[in-house]
């Protein structure tokens, strides 16, 4: 399939106008093609900006998407015995759920590049204290503070990944703190490094 | 690299008047912090964190400096510095700091800074009820971030400092909400509370200065110190290097893995990135972690360029 057609399908998916086949093509490309994934992420950002949506995949959204996905099999079974009109609506729900879950996954990947655009909203919402890298189920820590629900496609075997996460999780806070504090000692100006370092304290 | 410096040198000969003005303001700022007593309240904001702090900064009659900082929200974190030395710090964890000793702090040189940053006056503003001049410090390459400084017109103290990435997006904000430069400071305000404990200072000895080196550094960054310290986690010898370009800083931590399967990692806390890369050496695998207020790409490249003594580039 041509690149152009693929991007057209992507637009359709994002507008919830894609058919089943298109959706699967886009999902497959999103899984295998990094460049395509990046484009998707950009589309997503642009669309969010146009719609003034907050890019905020909170835990509850991820959870509700997972719930929707796990329900997906049930309606498919039902399709055989249900009338046409109902089949259509069930199909739509399943499709939207899949598309939404992919969106969440993409957003998780986009965070690193997107953090500052969202900074304003994020800062305004944040009433709690800062947090250090949170234990990751799948290894590589992403952005501290936004790690919930982040997907790590490159995760290796669970036991290894677990060990990996622990290793970094134990050391990074100490490293970062030493970096910040040492800057207050060796730096000419001290206030900024001090503020950075104290923003790492308690949660 | 050399060509680059020559080019910049040529550029600086025809430096426009406003750039000289900007340099002048930067010099005034450096002097102000050594000569001006003040007290005030500032906010610090980064992605995921917002906090308020009080500061008391006293310049004694003999020119000695005493500075106390107190976090006003959450736990009352505190820090006391006397003549540029950290006296005590209240912290939730047992911290260790390295005595500068053999590696004295290098004062910021505005002239040298212009090799790596373009200084530009960009207007006026008002911060904490005071008139300020706005100084942009723009990186000349993509390896570091830029600053926007709002300096008090009267005293040249920094009223506001913004860290900006290559897209001009805000990474952190430091901003006074109230500043008093005229009232005499009450002595007791400069006394630390009981939670402020002396830091454990590690001796600066023990590191072979050429045990590790970087094959690549962004222009202007130089090694500021090298230390060996026991890792607070594993007890293994942790090699710790600090680099700076006068404004931006990053640290490199090198810890032996002893066969533990650990993957590479990246993370970001506000303006600070952390990049960890596994590296095979003659002494077994090492994890190299670069931490600093630098772009992710710069940290990646530095991590990849670290070499143990006696090892050649690939």
Q: Do B263 and A164 touch (CB under 8 A)?
A: yes
In chain B, what residues touch A157 (CB-CB under 8 Å)?
none
B2-190 and B206-308 in the same fold? no
pLDDT at B103: 58
In chain A, what residues touch B30 (CB-CB under 8 Å)?
188
pLDDT at B195: 85
> Which one of B91, B108, B250 has the shortest CB-CB distance to A188?
B108
Residue with the larger pLDDT of the pair A6 and A134: A6
Phi, psi values for residue B181, rounded to 5° = -110, 0
Is it the case that residue B225 has pLDDT exceeding 60? yes
User: In this predicted structure, which of A89-103, A130-144, B62-76 has the lowest mean pLDDT?
Assistant: A130-144
B2-190 topology per CATH: outer membrane lipoprotein receptor (LolB), chain A (2.50.20)
pLDDT at A127: 37
Residue-wise pLDDT for B265-276, tens only, equals: 999 888 999 999
Residue-wise pLDDT for B236-262, tens only, equals: 888 999 999 989 999 999 999 988 888
pLDDT band at B307 (very low <50, low <70, confident <90, very high): very high
pLDDT at A197: 81
Mean pLDDT of B51-60: 94
Contact B162, B148 (CB under 8 A): yes
Instruction: Give the rounded percent of residues in chain B with a pLDDT score beyond 90.
Output: 55
- Which residues 118-157 of B have a C-beta within 8 angstroms of A? none
Domain boundaries, chain A: 3-125, 129-203
pLDDT at B249: 92
Distance CA B231, CA B218 (A): 28
pLDDT at A1: 56
The answer, for B296 touching chain A at a CB cutoff of 8 Å, is: yes
The answer, for B167 touching chain A at a CB cutoff of 8 Å, is: yes
Residue-wise pLDDT for B173-211, tens only, equals: 999 999 999 999 998 999 998 888 887 766 655 566 678
Nearest chain A residue to B256 by CA: give it.
A167
Interface test with B, best of A169, A186, A189, A197 (most B CBs within 10 A): A186
Nearest chain B residue to A196 by CA: give it.
B44
Q: Do A171 and B264 touch (CB under 8 A)?
A: no
pLDDT at B235: 83
Q: How near does any CA of chain B get to the CA of A116, in Å? A: 6
Contact B100, B225 (CB under 8 A): yes
CATH superfamily of B206-308: MucB/RseB, C-terminal domain (3.30.200.100)
Nearest chain B residue to A177 by CA: give it.
B95
pLDDT at A58: 35
Mean pLDDT of A107-115: 41
pLDDT band at B135 (very low <50, low <70, confident <90, very high): very high
pLDDT at A160: 52
User: In this predicted structure, which of A61-75, A116-130, B222-236, B291-305 has the lowest mean pLDDT?
Assistant: A116-130
Residue with the larger pLDDT of the pair B64 and A63: B64
Q: Do A175 and B289 touch (CB under 8 A)?
A: yes
Q: How near does any CA of chain B get to the CA of A203, in Å? A: 8
Mean pLDDT of B76-87: 84
Is it the case that residue B219 has pLDDT exceeding 90? yes
The answer, for B193 touching chain A at a CB cutoff of 8 Å, is: no
The single-letter DSSP state of residue A26 is H
pLDDT at A156: 44
The answer, for B232 touching chain A at a CB cutoff of 8 Å, is: yes
Q: Do A116 and B165 touch (CB under 8 A)?
A: yes
Q: What mean pLDDT, rounded, does chain B reach?
A: 86
Is it the case that residue B27 has pLDDT exceeding 50? yes
pLDDT at A178: 85
pLDDT at B191: 92
Q: Do B97 and A179 touch (CB under 8 A)?
A: no
Domain boundaries, chain B: 2-190, 206-308
| A·B CB contacts under 8 A | 202
User: In this predicted structure, which of A103-107, B17-21, B94-98, B114-118 has the lowest mean pLDDT?
Assistant: A103-107
pLDDT band at A153 (very low <50, low <70, confident <90, very high): very low
pLDDT at A67: 52
In chain B, what residues touch A167 (CB-CB under 8 Å)?
260, 262, 287
In chain A, what residues touch B71 (CB-CB under 8 Å)?
198, 201
Winning range, highest mean pLDDT, from A40-54, A179-193, B137-151: B137-151
Q: What mean pLDDT, rounded, does chain A reach?
A: 58
In chain B, what residues touch A123 (CB-CB under 8 Å)?
45, 47-48, 50
Q: How near does any CA of chain A get to the CA of B293, in Å? A: 10
Nearest chain B residue to A125 by CA: give it.
B48
pLDDT band at A89 (very low <50, low <70, confident <90, very high): very low
Q: How near does any CA of chain A get to the CA of B14, in Å? A: 29
Residue-wise pLDDT for B87-103, tens only, equals: 888 865 555 666 555 55
């Amino acid at each position: 399939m041509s690149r152009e057609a693929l991007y057209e399908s992507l637009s359709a998916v994002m507008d919830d106008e894609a058919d089943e086949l298109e959706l699967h093509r886009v999902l497959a490309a999103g899984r295998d093609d990094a460049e395509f994934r990046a484009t998707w992420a950009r589309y997503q950002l642009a669309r969010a900006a146009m719609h003034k949506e907050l890019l905020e995949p909170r835990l509850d959204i991820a959870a509700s998407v997972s719930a929707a996905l796990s329900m997906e099999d049930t309606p498919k079974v039902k399709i055989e015995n249900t009338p046409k009109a109902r089949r259509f609506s069930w199909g739509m729900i399943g499709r939207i759920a899949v598309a939404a879950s992919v969106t969440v996954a993409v957003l998780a990947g986009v965070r690193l590049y997107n953090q500052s655009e969202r900074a304003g909203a994020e800062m305004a919402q944040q009433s709690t204290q800062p947090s250090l890298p949170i234990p990751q189920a799948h290894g590589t820590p992403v952005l501290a503070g936004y790690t919930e629900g982040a997907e790590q496609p490159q995760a290796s075997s669970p036991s290894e990944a677990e060990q990996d996460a622990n290793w970094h999780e134990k050391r990074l806070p100490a490293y970062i703190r030493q970096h910040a504090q040492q800057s207050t000692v060796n730096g000419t100006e001290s206030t900024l490094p001090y503020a950075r370092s104290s923003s790492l304290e308690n949660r | 690299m050399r060509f680059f410096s020559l080019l910049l040198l040529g550029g600086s000969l025809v430096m426009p008047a406003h750039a000289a003005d900007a340099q002048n303001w930067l010099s005034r700022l450096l002097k102000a912090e050594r000569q001006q007593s003040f007290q005030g309240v500032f906010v610090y904001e980064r992605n995921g964190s917002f906090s308020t702090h009080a500061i008391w900064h006293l310049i004694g009659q003999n020119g000695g400096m005493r500075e106390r900082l107190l976090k006003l929200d959450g736990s009352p974190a505190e820090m006391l510095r006397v003549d540029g030395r950290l006296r005590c710090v209240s912290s939730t964890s047992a911290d260790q700091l390295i005595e500068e000793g053999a590696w004295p702090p290098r004062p910021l040189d505005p002239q040298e800074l212009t090799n790596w940053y373009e200084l530009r006056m960009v207007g006026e503003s008002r911060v904490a009820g005071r008139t300020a001049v706005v100084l942009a410090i723009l990186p000349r390459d993509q390896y570091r971030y830029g600053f926007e400084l709002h300096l008090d017109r009267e005293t040249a103290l920094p009223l506001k400092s913004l860290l900006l990435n290559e897209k001009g997006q805000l990474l952190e904000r430091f901003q006074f909400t109230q500043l008093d430069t005229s009232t005499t400071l009450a002595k007791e305000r400069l006394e630390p509370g009981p939670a402020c404990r002396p830091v454990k200072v590690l001796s600066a000895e023990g590191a072979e200065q050429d045990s590790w080196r970087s094959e690549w550094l962004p222009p202007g960054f130089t090694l500021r110190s090298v230390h060996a310290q026991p890792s607070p986690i594993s007890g293994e010898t942790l090699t710790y290097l600090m680099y700076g370009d006068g404004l931006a800083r990053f640290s490199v931590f090198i810890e032996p893995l002893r066969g533990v399967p650990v993957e590479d990692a990246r993370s970001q806390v506000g303006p600070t990135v952390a990049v960890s890369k596994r590296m095979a050496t003659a002494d077994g695998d090492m994890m190299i972690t670069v931490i600093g207020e630098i772009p992710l790409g710069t940290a990646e490249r530095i991590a990849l360029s670290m070499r143990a003594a006696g090892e050649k580039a690939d």
